[in-house]
Structure 1
């Protein structure tokens, strides 16, 4: 009996050991990505990506749409949707109410003096002239970015931001990264003394080769046959800006110029060649800085500016914008395939988004039966001041339009014995009389907790009381703040300005498929942080989208 029990026990133990030996081991968790790559397309509404999807190449935007994880209803949560604000949100996860980057530029509420979002007179550009209010440092950014979190944990990590615009490079790079931006006067890429005392040799070599000059007299021709552009508005419309490179394709960049110079270098950005040049510099950065190839985790942010310039001049409904998106798609494909070769397709994660969407040109919208128009600041300011003077007997109580609001001279009102709350209310009433104005919010509302009034919560997220004007303005749909007679812009809380791409690729890290729930771009930084094994930036207001397969 005892012998039988021992035999059965031995048999059970043997079976158990056999099972342990033959059971498949769990799949190892993927390594953390060696490189996080953020591509920001300045001024790209999501409707253009999906609207032209059938004409995309096989491995640009399609890499995300066909093989990555993408969100079809991604929006900015703040109301003043402009370049600096959007770029400040991407890798911080913080709205302008926390970051302080309320606009591209604004006026100091105490002095009425202009402030530029990345302006800092303590620093200058390297080997290039520095204009007044030029963007040279992240001093005005009140929050940390994902790159700042990474470099606090891992000082040997590199965080590099590259863009055609200073704000597109500086704000995603954060306080501890390095920013390189295109110089429209010289056609070079440079940085500022905030980051370094002298440019690295590889940057000097890149500039010495004069790659911008290679595009002089180059022709921007449509990528597809004429019939392919039937869904967009033809060239040469009276509301399309004809300065720069003209408003018709084909267009010769530098036409009627004798040699490359500041005018050519500036106009280059408003063409597909601006993105091509920026991506060439990004390739040089990856190669020479060995990004994702050194045993340390790195971050590369590349902001491509050309689509924004093109949409401003011609409108997102135009054939020029349509064709530019297709040209950009091909440039992205080449860049992604370069990363596959240089870094290794399994070693990096790609994220693609935009800093804002775009409004259709008002004149075009009007032809489609929409109520559309232009709100011009000069005449509007005069009307408001005339109304305030009639009521209070004091001239120029309204100082200026600042970012998305009207800045009132609170000091003058106090000196004249006026209750500022009365001046504020009267100015609000005057603004609401103006054509195109949908809503005006006063400081008390913006600092309150009401979440049901339309547009208020979005404008609250754009409002930093130490920097913003006292009255915040929302225009009616299809109306734009306008400073010239043609072209279009952005900056509203309406969906065409807030709805942008949020696309991810990295087979081992993010999975595949369309996600239809509404998400916000503030979720991008916490999501990338989770993929990288990092805590989210301290002031982030978004959340991890949990992309892991």
Structure 2
């Protein structure tokens, strides 16, 4: 599979519980323009958080972080993504649009153009650059590739004075929820600053310039991530230092010093920072600055703030969701959320905003760990698999490289080459499908014709259909067996399948008098989030939404 520059960051460990001190404006806020609509809608996204971690560590949570939702809000214990290729960009595109990748076009983090084979990044747009930061190839700078509107687009069409702001450690985590009419700010691993792009504005507002000038990322240099609880509290998770846990960055054991053996802050340190609790803390500090300086929820109209916290995803990629490192990070994250929610109470007023929390995907246990538990688990390496398929196709058809590459969740065939050589493409596609099914770890392979059909009985087909945009996706879509992962390295774990451990995520709501309380056990989908928040805000759902209003109003 293709990999983005952000997935190639050095991974490190760190911890922090320090807070960003700001002087909040008065807690009272004027009534929003739409009667009964909340002045502020806040979406918190925890990148790479499976629901099983929230409930599995519930007894160790702080009283007002995740527990705010579980004890005092409305939460869905069986919420899933309906699409099959469960990756960061796809998940973030669904949340506030309600549209699956088959409509939104955001089929993956990156893919290859079916006509040319060129790499495409989900939020890449060479017409725009980051402000005051370097813009590398395939950087995410605009929502141009997003084919649908978001809830923020609906809001700003009807209320141009409303503000829609997306903030994240990843460009796609900021840009896709912000939609076409919002503003996105993302963390720059080269500089340790937050930046927007010229798609949104020619230059930053003064508060962003001031925030970056203070170099808050540098304050975490040489700080230590130590376990939050006594050693006995981690008996339910896998100890540090396992051979399958990636040891790059600052290693794979706690306690660990971020920036250890470095002379000073620089690109490697800033990248490592994102893979620690410090990354969440820094992102939330920027979010607090946005609330204060943009006066979100305090201006007589409804605003939307989306904050996507990226650190848990990097940690789970390196060490697996079963690890003590992931367990402890979740507990640090929980305390950071508690501080953020209490800041919202003081700044906007507890009755003046609605909170929603979800994740962009779940996570697979590390295959090596799963194997110790008696599961059939493994790694599907794309490079040798491509060679095997091409060799078989060449032997049968006498043409080399009929398969271009793996792209997103599929194998991209060179249809133009097949036609040029006088081959029947249907026969090439069928032969490639047969070869893929012979490879270890492959559960199912679907052809373009199946994906464009109406069969809903075949396992996995409907989920993969929801991930399939025929103008962008590979002709053959692949589903690996349970506990198998696409992998380009020997350690760590990932996600991206239609299996429940990758689709099952939190869907939590809080808002006095607006969302009610209690656990809801029926199966729902994250595509329901946008229509539900739209109803709470007194807005129509985004035009291409495929979810439904969950009718949370008490």
Give the structure-2-normalised TM-score: 0.94
- Give the C-alpha shift of residue 476 in structure 1: 0.0
The 5-angstrom pairing of residues 139-218 of structure 1 reads: 139-218=144-223
The 5-angstrom pairing of residues 124-523 of structure 1 reads: 124-523=129-528
- Measure, in 1, the Cα distance between the counterparts of 2:426 and 2:522: 41
- Give the C-alpha shift of residue 508 in structure 1: 1.2
* 1:537 equivalent in alignment to 2:538: no
- Measure, in 2, the Cα distance between the counterparts of 1:286 and 1:296: 14
- Measure, in 1, the Cα distance between the counterparts of 2:97 and 2:198: 23
Q: Secondary structure at the match of 1:522?
A: helix
1:506-549: per-residue Cα shift (whole Å, max 9, x none)?
Answer: 01100000000000000000000000000000000000000001
Q: 1:30 touches 1:509 (CA, 8 Å); kept in 2? A: no
- Measure, in 1, the Cα distance between the counterparts of 2:460 and 2:221: 45
Q: 1:95 touches 1:462 (CA, 8 Å); kept in 2? A: yes
* 1:63 equivalent in alignment to 2:82: no
- Measure, in 2, the Cα distance between the counterparts of 1:326 and 1:221: 12
1:30-64: per-residue Cα shift (whole Å, max 9, x none)?
Answer: 82110000000000000000000000000000000
- Measure, in 2, the Cα distance between the counterparts of 1:169 and 1:483: 26
- Measure, in 1, the Cα distance between the counterparts of 2:201 and 2:520: 42
* 1:37 equivalent in alignment to 2:42: yes
- Measure, in 1, the Cα distance between the counterparts of 2:287 and 2:196: 14
- Measure, in 1, the Cα distance between the counterparts of 2:340 and 2:427: 57
Who is 2:124 aligned against?
119
* 1:81 equivalent in alignment to 2:98: no
| Alignment CA distance shift 1:123-1:30 (3 Å) | closer
Alignment RMSD, CA only? 0.7
- Measure, in 1, the Cα distance between the counterparts of 2:36 and 2:387: 61
- Measure, in 2, the Cα distance between the counterparts of 1:71 and 1:85: 21
- Measure, in 1, the Cα distance between the counterparts of 2:204 and 2:382: 41
- Measure, in 1, the Cα distance between the counterparts of 2:222 and 2:95: 36
Who is 1:18 aligned against?
none
- Give the C-alpha shift of residue 458 in structure 1: 0.1
1:80-120: per-residue Cα shift (whole Å, max 9, x none)?
Answer: 00000000000000000000000000000000000000000
- Measure, in 2, the Cα distance between the counterparts of 1:164 and 1:145: 20
Q: 1:405 touches 1:471 (CA, 8 Å); kept in 2? A: yes
- Measure, in 1, the Cα distance between the counterparts of 2:192 and 2:338: 24
Q: 1:235 touches 1:247 (CA, 8 Å); kept in 2? A: yes
Q: Secondary structure at the match of 2:505?
A: coil
- Give the C-alpha shift of residue 381 in structure 1: 0.2
1:443-500: per-residue Cα shift (whole Å, max 9, x none)?
Answer: 0000000000000000000000000000000000000000101000000000000000
- Measure, in 1, the Cα distance between the counterparts of 2:488 and 2:163: 40
- Measure, in 2, the Cα distance between the counterparts of 1:89 and 1:106: 18
- Measure, in 2, the Cα distance between the counterparts of 1:249 and 1:313: 14
**Number of corresponding residues:** 521
- Measure, in 2, the Cα distance between the counterparts of 1:64 and 1:30: 25
Q: 1:30 touches 1:508 (CA, 8 Å); kept in 2? A: no
- Measure, in 2, the Cα distance between the counterparts of 1:367 and 1:135: 39
- Measure, in 1, the Cα distance between the counterparts of 2:203 and 2:35: 39
Q: Secondary structure at the match of 1:320?
A: helix
Who is 1:104 aligned against?
109
* 1:90 equivalent in alignment to 2:95: yes
Q: Secondary structure at the match of 2:348?
A: helix
- Measure, in 1, the Cα distance between the counterparts of 2:200 and 2:439: 46
Who is 1:20 aligned against?
none
- Measure, in 2, the Cα distance between the counterparts of 1:147 and 1:334: 26
Q: Which runs of 5+ in 2 are unaligned?
A: 1-33
- Give the C-alpha shift of residue 213 in structure 1: 0.3
Q: Secondary structure at the match of 1:73?
A: strand
Give the structure-1-normalised TM-score: 0.95
- Measure, in 2, the Cα distance between the counterparts of 1:30 and 1:198: 35
1:259-289: per-residue Cα shift (whole Å, max 9, x none)?
Answer: 0000000000100000000000000000000
Q: Secondary structure at the match of 1:500?
A: strand
Q: Secondary structure at the match of 1:267?
A: helix
